[in-house]
Structures are given as C-alpha cells and as structure tokens.
C-alpha cells in the first residue's frame, strides 16, 4: 500500500504541465458585511456540512469550543485575493525544472516541495507546497523568492501586509471576547512571525487512498486560509465531534483557524481546530495559507487571567521558537504536536 502511494505521487509530477480551467472573477454574495466589535458575521458548521451562516457573538462569558470561522467582510480587496490566486496558480503551472530552482530542503519548511516528510516509507500527502517566510525580514530566504511570475514577490508582499492587519484585528476581538486588554496579544507577540504557504492539490485518481494534507492543527496563533476559486472541489475538512466535516467554500470569504498558540494562551478557552485536506478524482485545488505567530523569542503559557481554581493551568510555559522547531520537525498527526505543551495532571 505504501509503495502504491509513492507511485501515485510520482505520477502527479507529470501532471504539472496540464492546464486547469479557471473560473474568472469573484462573484458571490456580499450581503453579509458586519464585522464589528465583539461580533463577527461568520459561518459555522451544522452536522452534515460546514458551514451554515450564523452570527457568533463573543463576549466574556461565552467561548467557542474549537474555532474555525469564515470571515466574509475581512476588508481585503477582492482583486488582491484574485491576484494572489493567479500568481500562485501561475507558479504551480511552471515547468517542474523552473519550480525546482526553489527547493524545499529536507527538514525545512520553505521553498517548493513537500514539508513534514521524515522517512523514505512515509505515506506522502497528495500536495505540492510552496512556502515562504515573510516577516520579520530576517526569516526570508531571498533565494527562494521566484522570479516568475514577474509580479510574484510584490503581490505576496502586498497581500501579506493586508492579512497581517486582519490578524491583528482578529486577535483584538479574541482578547475582547475574553475580557482581556484589547492589545494583550499584540504587545506580547513582539514582531510577529508570518509565513505564507501555497498548497496545490492536483486531481487524484484514487482519492480513497491518499489525503491531500494529513490531519493537523496549525502551530500558529491564527491561520488565514484562502480557498482557490479555480476549482469548485470541497477539500478542506475539520474534525468536529470525531467526524470529518467538509467546509463548503463561501465566495470571497477567508477561513480563519485558531492555532495551537491561542489554545495555550487562552488555557484552552479557544481550541485549535484539527483539519485536513482531501483530494478529488477530477478536480485540482489551490489553497493559500498565512500563518501568524508570535516572535520566536517569546516565552508563553496560559494567561494568568484565564487560570483559576475552576480553570487550572493546562499547559506549561515554553519558548515559542522551541515550539515552532518541534512543530516543523514532526509529522502532521492530528493535535499530537500540542502534547509538547500539555500538563496532564489535572
């Protein structure tokens, strides 16, 4: 079985040259535009298919068990989202030799290739990634920023600035919802680390045999995920009550996933969401994912405001750089990576 999967993956490489059909433009429903204080107009799941449209009101007495929302009125220009998708797709459609000029070295997570591969016999995910560290500047590896398409770097820069603003806003709302000082995360994070990963999932002849991306939670504080519109396939799934629930893309919405860092800081009030991507027999799929996390230098643990005798401390204090290293040097296996931080004796 393992061998077969390897073979399927190799086949995929031949498909790079194939054209995908692109749906032009971002049509869709922009009726829902509230994104105000303590109130996100969002979508959440029902039992069979996520999401259905719901308004979630955060206040200090409520919290969500495991958070995945789709933000419609994120304020980011739709042309910019479209441009980002265009350059990502153009990159993936380049000849293999061109993309291989930017290789993801084994054990690293930047460049073109597959991350989280640690052994010869590991069953590979059906996904090609192109990942770049964006902020702060010292995490950039300029050799990995492609020269084609021509407007690639400029677009990634502009897009990343906008996503950064959105993350800062969302973190403020999360703080407010917990009755904390609005700027608590921003002040604590230092110069936040931001990385972008483009995931391209070609159509897969045997979607029953191989996943697009193995189950995991993100190590970030927040993840902003843009689902490509060039394919209508539903690829992202989240784990809810032990059932994998497909996330139906909402036109122009950005998916927000809470990452492990916010789970730790909020002492589990906000839980990171376990998710995976599945493949489709006929349709390819693109996602553009931004990870927003604290500076590697900071020490973090549950905020003291969120720990008391009714909510005992569930996670230890650790250095975020160490956690990041732990994250990228382990296979994606559900929420196993977070065990690094868990305290089990309560």
What is the DSSP secondary structure assignment for residue 23, as one 8-state letter? -
> If binding is defined by CB under 6 A, does position 66 make contact with ligand AKG?
no
- Give the number of other Cβ atoms within 10 Å of residue 60's Cβ: 11
> If binding is defined by CB under 6 A, does position 229 make contact with ligand AKG?
no
> If binding is defined by CB under 6 A, does position 213 make contact with ligand AKG?
yes
> If binding is defined by CB under 6 A, does position 225 make contact with ligand AKG?
yes
Selected binder of ligand AKG within 81, 134, 236, 239 (CB under 6 A): 236
> If binding is defined by CB under 6 A, does position 231 make contact with ligand AKG?
no
Q: Name residues contacting ligand AKG, limited to 186-205 (CB under 6 A).
A: 197, 199
Nearer to Fe ion, 111 or 212 (CB): 212
Contacts of 235 (CB under 8 A, 6+ apart): 201, 212, 227, 277, 278, 279, 280, 285, 287
Selected binder of ligand AKG within 202, 207, 215, 235 (CB under 6 A): 235
CB of 284 vs ligand AKG, minimal distance in Å: 12
Look-up of token digits 């709302």: 173
The CA distance from 321 to 81, in Å, is 30
Which of ligand AKG, Fe ion, none does 274 bind, CB closer than 5 to 8 A by kind? none
CA-based torsion, 327, 335, 35, 285: positive or negative: positive
Which of ligand AKG, Fe ion, none does 280 bind, CB closer than 5 to 8 A by kind? none
- Contacting positions for Fe ion (CB under 5 A): 218
Greatest alpha-carbon span in the chain: 59
> If binding is defined by CB under 6 A, does position 135 make contact with ligand AKG?
no
Task: Give the CB-side neighbour count of residue 196, counting CA atoms within 13 A.
Answer: 26
CB of 104 vs ligand AKG, minimal distance in Å: 13
> If binding is defined by CB under 6 A, does position 110 make contact with ligand AKG?
no
Displacement of CA 122 from its chain's centroid (Å)? 22
Exposed / middle / buried, residue 229 (Cβ in 10 Å: 0-12, 13-18, 19+): buried
> If binding is defined by CB under 6 A, does position 218 make contact with ligand AKG?
yes
3-state secondary structure of 72: coil
- Tokens describing residue 2: 């393992």
Convert residues 262-291 into a mask of x (bound to ligand AKG by CB under 6 A) and - (unbound): -------------x-x---------x-x--
| Total number of residues that touch ligand AKG (CB under 6 A) | 11
Nearer to ligand AKG, 67 or 225 (CB): 225
CB of 197 vs Fe ion, minimal distance in Å: 8
Q: In what order do the strands lie in the sheet with 211-216?
A: 211-216, 275-278, 236-240, 243-246
Which of ligand AKG, Fe ion, none does 197 bind, CB closer than 5 to 8 A by kind? ligand AKG
CB of 97 vs ligand AKG, minimal distance in Å: 25
Q: Where are the beta strands (DSSP E) in 184-234?
A: 193-201, 211-216, 222-227
Which parts of this chain interact with ligand AKG (CB under 6 A)? 197, 199, 213, 218, 225, 235-236, 275, 277, 287, 289
């Amino acid at each position: 079985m393992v061998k077969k999967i390897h073979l399927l993956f190799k086949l995929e490489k031949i498909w790079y040259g194939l054209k995908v059909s692109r749906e032009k433009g971002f049509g869709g429903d922009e009726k829902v535009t509230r994104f105000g204080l303590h109130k996100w107009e969002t979508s959440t799941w029902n039992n069979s298919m996520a999401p259905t449209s719901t308004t979630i009101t955060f206040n200090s007495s409520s919290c969500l068990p495991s958070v995945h929302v789709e933000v419609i009125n994120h304020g980011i220009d739709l042309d910019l989202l479209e441009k980002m998708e265009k350059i990502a797709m153009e990159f993936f459609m380049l000849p293999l030799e061109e993309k291989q000029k930017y290789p993801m070295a084994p054990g690293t997570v930047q460049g073109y290739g597959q991350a989280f591969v640690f052994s010869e016999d590991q069953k590979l995910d059906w996904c090609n990634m192109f990942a770049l560290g964006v902020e702060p500047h010292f995490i950039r590896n300029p050799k990995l920023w492609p020269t084609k398409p021509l407007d690639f770097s400029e677009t990634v820069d502009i897009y990343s600035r906008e996503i950064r603003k959105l993350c800062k806003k969302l973190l403020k709302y999360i703080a407010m919802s917990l009755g904390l000082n609005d700027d608590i995360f921003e002040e604590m994070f230092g110069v936040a680390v931001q990385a972008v990963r483009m995931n391209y999932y070609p159509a897969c002849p045997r979607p029953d045999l191989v996943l697009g991306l193995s189950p995991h939670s993100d190590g970030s504080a927040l993840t902003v995920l843009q689902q490509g519109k060039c394919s209508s396939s539903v690829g992202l799934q989240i784990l809810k009550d032990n059932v994998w629930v497909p996330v139906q893309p909402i036109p122009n919405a950005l998916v927000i996933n809470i990452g492990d860092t916010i789970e730790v800081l909020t002492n589990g009030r906000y839980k990171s969401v376990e998710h995976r991507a599945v493949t489709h027999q006929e349709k390819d799929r693109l996602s553009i994912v931004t990870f927003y996390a604290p500076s590697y230098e900071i020490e973090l643990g549950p905020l003291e405001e969120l720990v008391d005798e009714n909510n005992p401390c569930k996670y230890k204090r650790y250095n975020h750089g160490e956690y990041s290293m732990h994250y990228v040097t382990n296979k994606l296996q559900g929420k196993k990576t977070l065990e690094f931080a868990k305290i089990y004796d309560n």
